[in-house]
Amino acid sequence: KARRKDKDASSGGAGGQEEPKMYLESTVLECTIPESRLRDLVDLPEGLDYNEWLASHTLAFFDHINLLYGTVSEFCTMSGCPDMTGPGNRQYLWFDEKGKKCKVAAPQYIDYVMTFTQKTVNDESLFPTKFEREFPSSFESLVKKIHGLLLHVLAHLYHAHFREMVLLQLHGHLHSIFAHFTLFNARFNLVDPKDAVVLQDLAVALGLCPPAENANGSPAASSTAPSSSSTVAAASGADEDSGAADAASCSAAAPMDVSLSPSVTQRSVVPSGIEAPAVSMATTTAGSVVPAQ
């Protein structure tokens, strides 16, 4: 079961406080795509198959997030990022082929995510591209697993590499991808709110959803306040997390702006050239163990 545990006051800086979140500063909150435009492109188009809508967006999300990570991958090293972490000192663990939780460095974790996703979307039995092929009955569940893993990558980019994104002037693109990813997932309930809450403060800052409220109806304290560390292990459930319900209130989706995408054929926007390591299992935010194809 995913668990939250407090670290000693000496960890995570003085008093256990997390460093200020650079991505919440007003000077770097701009998006390359207006949020209003994303909201105008919310619903599933009339006459379009729901699974096709999920598939095309999942491929675009994978492509864009993979491309953005590639721009800062040289800074994400085994020594510089020995743990796969996100905001709030959240740590993501991986399940090995025996179902044992293991801690891996961020570049290895992200390599596992990208490898699993690419192998999945390239499998015609799971992500069909031919007209006569049908989507499997479990397709939505598979999309949820992929989106959960991609959220971990986004969380790490914001937590550990946002400064490099700003220096490369790519933070606007990152925000736009996050905004669309958040709105799309909220519209179709594709990510567990307990997992989405890790970047809830950013979603509020970008105007994607209303701020959390206290029991008395007043706005909650700033989301930049320090929080205890948490460990997210792939498991059958998760503990209650304050703000999770508000993560679900972000309204709906829009198609991804494809200005960053390379030329592709058919529906697929999967970048080529990713060499797959020997990975037998992948874990998801829902906690199930997914055999690699």
Q: Which residues are annotated as a binding site?
A: 76, 81, 156, 161
Alpha carbons 204 and 7: distance in angstroms, whole number: 27
Q: Do 168 and 141 touch, CB atoms closer than 8 A? A: no
CB neighbours (10 Å) of residue 209?
Answer: 19
Cα Rg of the chain (Å, integer): 18
Annotated binding-site residues for Zn(2+) read: 76, 81, 156, 161
Long-range pairs, 137-143, Cβ under 8 A, ≥24: 139/51, 139/54, 139/55, 140/51, 140/54, 140/190, 143/54, 143/55, 143/58, 143/190
Spatial CA neighbour of 171 closest among 150, 146, 201, 202: 202
What does the chain come to in residues?
A: 293
Alpha carbons 135 and 14: distance in angstroms, whole number: 51
Contacts of 282 (CB under 8 A, 6+ apart): 94, 95, 112, 113, 116, 145, 149, 289, 290, 292
Alpha carbons 32 and 249: distance in angstroms, whole number: 23
Using the 8-state DSSP alphabet, how is residue 238 labeled? B
Q: Which two tokens stand for residue 220?
A: 């909650």
Which element (helix H / strand E) includes 185? helix 171-188
Q: Do 219 and 212 touch, CB atoms closer than 8 A? A: yes
Alpha carbons 274 and 28: distance in angstroms, whole number: 31
